[in-house]
Amino acid sequence: MKRGKVYLVGAGPGEPSLITVKGLEYLRQADVIIYDRLIDYRLLDAASPDAEKIYVGKRDGCHTIEQKQINLLMVSKAREGKRVVRLKGGDPFVLGRGAEEAEALAANNIPFEAVPGVSSAYAVPAYAGIPVTHRRLASSFTVVTGHEDPDKDRSTVAWGRASLGSDTLVILMGMGNLAHIVRQLIQNGRPVSTPVAVISQGTSPRQRAVTGTLDNIINRAGEESFEPPAVIVVGEVVRLRDQLCWFENLPLFGKRVLVTRAEDMAKELSQLLLGRGAIPVEMPVIKIVPPHSWKKLDRAVLNLKSYGWIVFTSVNAVELFWKRLCALNLDARWLASVKVGAIGPATARTLESKGIRPDYLPERYTSEGFVAGLRKEDMAGYRVLVPRADIAGNELVEGLARLGAEVHQVTAYRTVAATRSISQAKQMLLRGTIDVITFTSASTVSSLLAILGQRWQVIRQAKLACIGPNTHKALQERGLTADIVATEHTMLGLVQAIEEYFQGERRSRQ
């Protein structure tokens, strides 16, 4: 019988990319994932689709299952021969119950491994611009729990030593006991003028922080209505926040941006937004599906040697064309006698991943730009194959025809309305809590408006951002005008245009 094992993996302080490489690898290999409340669900996307995912989250007064049951669950799954990842926030052995869980595994002779994680004790202050040590201000720091086991007879936090025992004091899980903690620190010798910071939702685009002193931090935190999870930092290093704050100064920090791309293509845009501090809200209003029949595309593939050019207008066109190429037992060598054009760097990169370097990539990533760049070429009499979407516009075909080419377009994929549940994102849109709506094609415009129905005008409450002029034209045909139109028609260009728009707004307010 296969022997199971449990991996106690620290997921980090919240931001999914802060998990360790080792932790992520074990997550991908897991048969079972037992995860806590504060785990970012995007981490679970890295797991195998066949992995069993079990939520065991806890919060004050509400435990999904008790700790003893969690211990038994790990033991039983391991005894079934499963690779079990116990995914815990921060580091499993820093003020969590990882050590207790390890004891339970050891007592039951279950092999286990502890995978340290980035602790919120130092990561959250760092994201708030507060180093826990500093050459001039602090040479030591202490981490203290602000929430002890309620079954203990008395507190085991030695506030007398903790208050003055190190330069910086970091208190985890202490938001609910802030008044008690402040009182203990003052009673045990910390001056009331000592700087304090309270950081809520640390490392996420929802991060908020308030600073003050022991004398006024309770009122200041109360005014901000802070809720757990929060990290409290006490010490002179807090004074550095004004100078070192970087995360909350990211250009799109806290902006909720609706991503309407197809689900399997949304990741690139979402990652770019996250890197600038935004909160991507994925609402895939379209879905990419194969044509009703492969017959026409297969015929075009088999007759490829009769064409002088093949032009790919999107990543999807490359992927679906290649799918049929492989299905017909062909490979990149089949394109040896034909010139290859690509509209846009993402399409070119996808071709290069298949072993094909495009012969032509226009300076402007539009159909018009593609045609304009070919005016120097003698296209007269060339047969040009364009595998593309079923609802693609006619600008490219008509433009190539004007150059004298004989253009054959064939459907490589269809764009249809998405069927996945999108209710949460839709409700955010209807409530007016979305700051920016991104449109990456004309089909995203028509599909989103169709989903909203008679309430479509709610999109006027947000800034409308288009990847290029063709998408903007689709908006204008519906009586809408884009606030933002990318000059470089790529995902990066779109995000940069959004960034520049808000930077301009900030400058105009100054």
> In 51-135, where does DSSP find H-type helix?
67-79, 98-107, 120-127
Write the CATH number of the domain with boundaries 122-249: 3.30.950.10
- Residue 356 has a pLDDT of 95
Q: Give per-residue pLDDT as tens, 1-56.
A: 577 999 999 999 999 999 999 999 999 999 999 999 889 888 998 999 999 999 99
* Residue range 419-424: mean pLDDT, rounded: 65
pLDDT for 386 beyond 80: yes
pLDDT for 148 beyond 80: no
Non-local CB neighbours of 254 within 8 Å, separated by 6+ positions: 205, 206, 248, 277, 278, 279
- Write out the residue limits of the CATH 3.40.1010.10 domain(s) in the chain: 5-118
Residues serving a catalytic function are: 36, 58, 173
- Mean pLDDT for the chain? 91
Confidence of residue 230 (pLDDT cuts 50, 70, 90): very high
**Distance from C-alpha of 177 to C-alpha of 339, rounded to nearest angstrom:** 69
**Distance from C-alpha of 424 to C-alpha of 282, rounded to nearest angstrom:** 10
- Write out the residue limits of the CATH 3.30.950.10 domain(s) in the chain: 122-249
Pairing of strands 208-213, 5-10: unpaired
- Residue 322 has a pLDDT of 96
Q: Give per-residue pLDDT as tens, 462-481.
A: 999 999 888 999 999 999 99
Q: Give per-residue pLDDT as tens, 251-274.
A: 999 999 999 998 878 889 999 999
Q: What is the pTM of this model?
A: 0.82
pLDDT for 151 beyond 80: no
- Residue 276 has a pLDDT of 94
- Residue 65 has a pLDDT of 85
Non-local CB neighbours of 247 within 8 Å, separated by 6+ positions: 127, 128, 129, 203, 207, 253, 277
- Residue 426 has a pLDDT of 87
- Residue 378 has a pLDDT of 83
User: Which of 270, 250, 222 minimizes the C-alpha distance to 40?
Assistant: 270
pLDDT for 510 beyond 80: no
Topology of domain 256-285+418-509 in CATH is: Rossmann fold (3.40.50)
* Residue range 411-436: mean pLDDT, rounded: 84
- Residue 227 has a pLDDT of 76
* Residue range 405-419: mean pLDDT, rounded: 88
* Residue range 326-338: mean pLDDT, rounded: 95
The CATH number of 289-415, from 3.40.50.10090, 2.40.50.220, 1.10.287.610, 3.40.640.10, is 3.40.50.10090
pLDDT for 370 beyond 80: yes
- Residue 63 has a pLDDT of 60
Helices vs strands, H then E, count in the chain: 18, 22
- Longest Cα separation, the chain: 90
Q: Give per-residue pLDDT as tens, 53-98.
A: 999 987 665 667 899 999 999 999 999 999 999 999 999 999 989 9
pLDDT for 421 beyond 60: no
- Write out the residue limits of the CATH 3.40.50.10090 domain(s) in the chain: 256-285+418-509, 289-415
Confidence of residue 364 (pLDDT cuts 50, 70, 90): confident
- Residue 348 has a pLDDT of 94
- Residue 395 has a pLDDT of 85
**Distance from C-alpha of 375 to C-alpha of 398, rounded to nearest angstrom:** 14
pLDDT for 384 beyond 70: yes
For residue 328 the two structure tokens come to 């017909």
- Residue 445 has a pLDDT of 93
pLDDT-above-70 percentage for the chain:
96
Per-position DSSP letters for 298-352, written without gaps between them: HHHHHTGGG-SEEEE-SHHHHHHHHHHHHHTT--GGGGTTSEEEESSHHHHHHHH
pLDDT for 210 beyond 90: yes
Q: Give per-residue pLDDT as tens, 435-454.
A: 999 999 989 999 999 889 88
Lowest-confidence region among 72-86, 191-205, 279-293, 366-380: 366-380
Q: Do the beta carbons of residue 422 and residue 455 sit within 8 Å?
A: no
Homologous superfamily of the 5-118 domain (CATH) = Tetrapyrrole methylase, N-terminal domain (3.40.1010.10)
Rg (CA), the chain: 28
Query: CA-based angle 297:302:304, to the nearest 5?
Result: 90
- Residue 18 has a pLDDT of 95
Q: Do the beta carbons of residue 270 and residue 491 sit within 8 Å?
A: no
pLDDT for 150 beyond 60: no
